[in-house]
Amino acid sequence: MLNSDSSPLIAVPPSRRRTLWPIWVVAALLVIVPFWSWYSTWFGRKLSDAEITQYLSGSEKPRKMQHALLQIEQRIIARDANVKQWYPQIAALKNNALPEIRVTAAWVMGQDNTSDSFHQALLEMLADSQPLVRRNAALGLVRFADARGHAELLAMLKPYTIQAPRAGTVTTQLKEEQSIAPDILVARIKLNGAEVLEVRSPLPGKISAIKVEKEAKVNAGDDLIVLSPDQKHILESLRALSLIGLPDDLPEVERYARGVEGMSDNIKRQAALTAEAIRKRQ
């Protein structure tokens, strides 16, 4: 194709043509490989029924399993009856070894409050070792009009303390008021010998207090770091408590209704609505 400025085309000598093709191949790969990596892990890509079945069975690839679960969630919301074919597999994920899979599965199970298998699985997940799993299970149970996750919902309004899982010498590089995400490394504990145990945060939040000094000796169960509650978790908890909250919850709910420093106006408004709903049920 001729250019609009009518500049002449420059012929490439035969020897140069032979040496240019590897450069074009590498350039193409630099575009294709990142795109394919993104496309294959993008949760928005629509999956076929066969792919969902395959992904749910492929425990060695957790992102694909999460992709399948989120696609099922969308189809539950759209009232697609065909998704029930995967319900036994989803309910069985309550025992999956990976916390991120259990977190996602608990959320998805809360989307269909007509499933007895989901209801039972969520009840069992209230005893999960990971707080994010327990919180999603408690929120899901509210949709079943089941208040047995009430204690977990109330805990979402309060600070969370990360404790030492084992005895040893602790080091941490974090600072107070620092915001952290789930799975962020918060401390290292040097055990006997050269073994080092990494302590990671199970929740998002802001560090409100660091309970240990650098190189301090700790025992299993000692407090390490206190996290202030995450705003999204507070909002979800308040919405759920508007349905199942108890009069004893009012002091904590009203604290947010009066306004807490650093919290959004949405939380203040929702807390006021939740307090009003609880009083009406008295």
**Do 67 and 44 meet the contact criterion of CB atoms below 8 Å apart?**
no
Domain 160-228 has CATH 3.30.1240.10: no
Higher pLDDT, 256 or 22: 256
Reported CATH class of domain 49-148: mainly alpha
* Model confidence pLDDT, tens digit, residues 46-78: 888 899 998 888 766 788 889 999 999 999 999
Question: Using 50, 70 and 90 to split pLDDT, how confident is the model at 277?
Answer: very high
Cα 75 from Cα 104, distance rounded (Å)? 15
pLDDT at 174: 87
| Sequence spans of domains, the chain | 49-148, 160-228, 234-281
The mean pLDDT of the chain is: 85
The pTM of this model reads 0.81
Q: Among residues 265, 275, 205, 203, which one has the least CA distance to residue 241?
A: 275
Q: Among residues 235, 225, 236, which one has the least CA distance to residue 260?
A: 235
- pLDDT for residue 13 is more than 90: no
Residue 207 burial (C-beta neighbours within 10 Å; 0-12, 13-18, 19+)? buried
The three-state (H, E, C) secondary structure of 31-65, written as one string: HHHHHHHHHHHCCCCCCCHHHHHHHHHCCCCHHHH
- Work out the percent of the chain whose per-residue pLDDT is above 70: 84
* Model confidence pLDDT, tens digit, residues 110-143: 999 999 999 999 999 999 999 999 999 999 999 9
